[in-house]
Structure 1
Amino acid sequence: MFVSFFPRPKLFLTTLVVWSLAAVLFWFLGGQELGGLFGLPPAAADAAPIIGVGVFWSKPYLWFYIYFAVVVLIFYGFWAIYAPHPWQNWSILGSAFILFSTNFSVQVSVALNEWRGPFFDMIQRALTPPAGAVKPADLYQGIWVFLVIAFVWIGVYVVTRFFVSHYIFRWRTAMNGFYMSHWERLRTIEGASQRVQEDTMRFSTSVEDLGTSLVESVMTLVAFLPVLAQLSSHVTDLPIVGSIPYPLVIASLAWSAFGTVLLAVVGVRLPGLEFRNQRVEAAYRKELVYGEDDADRARPPTVAELFANVRQNYFRLYFHYAYFNVARAFYLQADNIFAYVILVPTIAAGKITFGILQQILTAFGQVSSSFQYLVNSWPDIVTLISIYKRLRAFEATLEGEALPGIDLRYIHRAADDPDPA
């Protein structure tokens, strides 16, 4: 799964995480200020935020683009020399482009949040007597600023999704080539054709969905946590707990951690059942395929037994998903009003304007949804884990590891078959 696309996967992924963390920490601990040496200093602490797309070619952003490119090229150069790989342009530079475009998309969301403050404050002034405090031209101008930012977001989104789709198919191509180069050793494993064709396709699709969501969640946290910390200055009290430092940040962390732990505990059995489901389906399908060419295979008693296994596993899966979905639905519905609940004392005291309220709700939602990555993606994660287990068992043959019992039973049965193909 990984060695076909990445150079020395374990070491590569470890160094990627370490290098990324080092680059982020260096950026926040002084890297931003280095831009001043090249005429690209960070924004002053008391500078008014830039509202609109102009922020993306401001001096701090231009310095970030240069910094990101240098960090990527250093990492790419090291691996290109240390362990050259035929897919290194896609696996390294392609991954870097996805990180950059995802981060840019998040920064567009930050720009939209900056726009919300003055725009909704203007709405509040327009709705408050006396009439005519805000001119229609000002409102149209505010809407136009939003549209321009939104068009930028649309462009980045389309380009990112297009590139990610090609990136994932390249990964699938690498896996397919790797497995087919070892086909003589792999062909006797249960469902070998399905694992090469269907599982690699489903694996790449799941990685596309979950991987981009994970990267976006991390980037959103990096971008919006400082925003939420800054907005916390407008919120002095929370229900029950009262006044605490950085109340919005603490509340989002606590609420997201609660949801993650809740669903991880409630759904702990689902990955194993999904894995088992793929196995019983594969066994049933395999027998039917044999029955197409051999009249002695796919006999009614055998087919009935195999389908009974399918039926039993599906019914167990439905039962466990039932109470999991109850817990997930309750949590997600409560999440829709949680931000309003913690803001009740602040709203009732009239300590924030309508614009600040919109900024808080958006930033809180962004941070909470990022921390709720497992909550929102758990069904897809379950599917990916089950696919990974099938492919990992598949690869055990190449590495000389012991196969799971069901795979061993199939090999023994195939050995007794005069025509296992």
Structure 2
Amino acid sequence: MFRSFFPNPKYFFTSAVAWTVLCMALWFGLGSTLQRFLSLGPWLGIVPSEANPDPFFSPDKVWLYQFILMSGYLFCVPWYFLNDNKRWYWWSVVGTVTIIEVVYFDVQIGAWMNDWYGAFFNLIQGAMTTPGSVSLDTMYGELTTVLYVLLPRIAVLVLNAFFIAHYLFRWRRAMTFFYLTHWQSLRHIEGSSQRIQEDAQRFANIVEGLAVAFVSSIMTLLVFLPLLWELSTHITELPLVGAVNGSLVWVALMSAIFGTVLLGLVGVKLPGLEFQNQRVEAAFRKELVYGEDNAGRARPVTARELFLGVQRNYFTLYGHYLYFNVARYVYLQGANFVPLIAMAPSIVAGTLTFGLFQQVSNAFGQVEDSFRFLANSWTTIISLISVYKRLRAFESHIPGDAISGVDYNDPRFLATEAGFPPLDLREDGMPIQPPIGT
């Protein structure tokens, strides 16, 4: 699943975590010192002014973005030389770093937007409280400012979605050809064609989606936790508890822990049922495929028994998802009211402006969503566990030292590696298909 695409996966991902910790320590320890010598902020940054007190590209923020870019792509350099198979280097190493960089860029825009919303809603409150105190030009000026940030954000997100689609297909391609080179060892396994055709695709899609969501959650916490802690100073007290330092941070953490534990307990049986579901589906599909070429297969009685097995498993799955979804939707809907309950004493006391209320609500939502990553992603994680178990059982028939990352343009190579006789090729380089049944 991983070694077909990533170089030495165990060391690659371990070193990525270690490099991240090292870069964070370097930033907090020597960031200001390095800024004097390396930063491009004095040339590229926008100096804060009264009209624009917190520009998105201030000199300090330019240095932050520059440091993140340098840290990410410097990590890629040694892996070019440590990678025996460079076939997928630009996608698996450089591509992964690029996706993470874009995620960080989007989180930073979210943090800037949170500050902008606070100032903008305070402006609205002032205009509604004191008619004529805010000019139309000022209102349009604020909207124009945010437009300059949102348009590039939209462009980057669209391009990133296009890039991720290609990234996932390359990963699927690497897995597919890796399995095909060992087809003679795998072909006897139940549902082997489904593992290569469907599970490889699903695994790459789910892992990429969860990994991006997880990285985004970590980065969101790094950016919004200090912000929410600071904003919590405006919350005079919590219901039943009273005054607490960083009150909303603790409320978000407790809410997320409760939801994660709850959904983990009620959904404990679902991965096994999903795994069993694929087995009965594979058996039914296999019999139908045999029936296409053999009149003696896929008879109504046999097909009916196989389909009834599929039906029984689905009905069991539906029953378990019933109570799981009850718990999930009750928790997710109830969590929407947690910040309102926590801020109620401060709202009643009149210590929050409308803009500050928006800032606190948005920051709380970002932090709580990041804390409850597992709760939000539990159904996806269930699918991933099921697919992972199937592919691990599939890969157990492949030697541990088997060749990985094989994907050459010449189909004759793959045929030879997989133990098939050499292929006859057409003039366009594609194999001549033998008659069906040979």
Question: TM-score w.r.t. structure 2 length?
Answer: 0.85
1:126 counterpart letter in structure 2: A
* Bigger helix share: 1
Aligned mates of 2:331, 2:170 — CA distance in 1: 37
Aligned mates of 1:51, 1:265 — CA distance in 2: 52
Across the aligned residues of Structure 1 and Structure 2, the Cα RMSD in angstroms comes to 2.5
Q: How does 1:187-198 map to 2 (within 5 A)?
A: 187-198=187-198
Unaligned runs of 5+ in 1: 401-419
* Alignment CA distance shift 1:323-1:204 (3 Å): same
Q: How far apart are 1:131 and its partner, in Å?
A: 2.2
Aligned mates of 2:176, 2:373 — CA distance in 1: 30
Aligned mates of 1:341, 1:16 — CA distance in 2: 40
Does 2:84 match 1:84?
A: yes
| Cα deviation code 1:4-25 (max 9, x no counterpart) | 0111111211111121122123
1:257 matched residue in structure 2: 257
Aligned mates of 1:228, 1:92 — CA distance in 2: 34
* Alignment CA distance shift 1:69-1:290 (3 Å): same
1:283 matched residue in structure 2: 283
* Alignment CA distance shift 1:378-1:2 (3 Å): same
1:414 matched residue in structure 2: none
Aligned mates of 1:58, 1:302 — CA distance in 2: 70
* Higher deviation after alignment, 213-222 or 52-61: 52-61
Is the 1:191–1:282 Cα contact (8 Å) retained in structure 2?
A: yes
1:405 matched residue in structure 2: none
Q: How far apart are 1:172 and its partner, in Å?
A: 0.8
2:169 matched residue in structure 1: 169
Give the number of equivalent residue pairs. 399
Aligned mates of 2:48, 2:382 — CA distance in 1: 45
SS class of match (1:21): helix
1:212 matched residue in structure 2: 212
1:372 counterpart letter in structure 2: R
Is the 1:253–1:368 Cα contact (8 Å) retained in structure 2?
A: yes
2:329 counterpart letter in structure 1: A
* Higher deviation after alignment, 118-127 or 322-331: 118-127
Aligned mates of 2:41, 2:295 — CA distance in 1: 78
1:373 matched residue in structure 2: 373
2:298 matched residue in structure 1: 298
Aligned mates of 2:17, 2:276 — CA distance in 1: 32
Aligned mates of 2:300, 2:68 — CA distance in 1: 63
Unaligned runs of 5+ in 2: 401-436
2:356 matched residue in structure 1: 356
Aligned mates of 2:167, 2:252 — CA distance in 1: 33
Identical positions, percent: 48
1:114 matched residue in structure 2: 115
1:104 counterpart letter in structure 2: F
Q: How far apart are 1:375 and its partner, in Å?
A: 1.9
1:104 matched residue in structure 2: 105
1:347 matched residue in structure 2: 347
1:71 matched residue in structure 2: 71
1:331 matched residue in structure 2: 331
* Higher deviation after alignment, 25-34 or 362-371: 25-34
SS class of match (1:4): coil
Does 2:201 match 1:201?
A: yes
Q: How far apart are 1:209 and its partner, in Å?
A: 2.5
Is the 2:48–2:54 Cα contact (8 Å) retained in structure 1?
A: no
* Alignment CA distance shift 1:169-1:32 (3 Å): farther
Q: How far apart are 1:392 and its partner, in Å?
A: 1.1
Is the 1:51–1:111 Cα contact (8 Å) retained in structure 2?
A: no
Is the 2:76–2:94 Cα contact (8 Å) retained in structure 1?
A: yes
Q: How far apart are 1:355 and its partner, in Å?
A: 0.8
Aligned mates of 1:188, 1:52 — CA distance in 2: 67
* Higher deviation after alignment, 333-342 or 140-149: 140-149
| Cα deviation code 1:314-362 (max 9, x no counterpart) | 0110000000000011011112211111000111111111111100001
Is the 2:172–2:201 Cα contact (8 Å) retained in structure 1?
A: yes
Aligned mates of 2:233, 2:26 — CA distance in 1: 27
2:234 matched residue in structure 1: 234
Aligned mates of 2:345, 2:390 — CA distance in 1: 52
2:34 matched residue in structure 1: 34
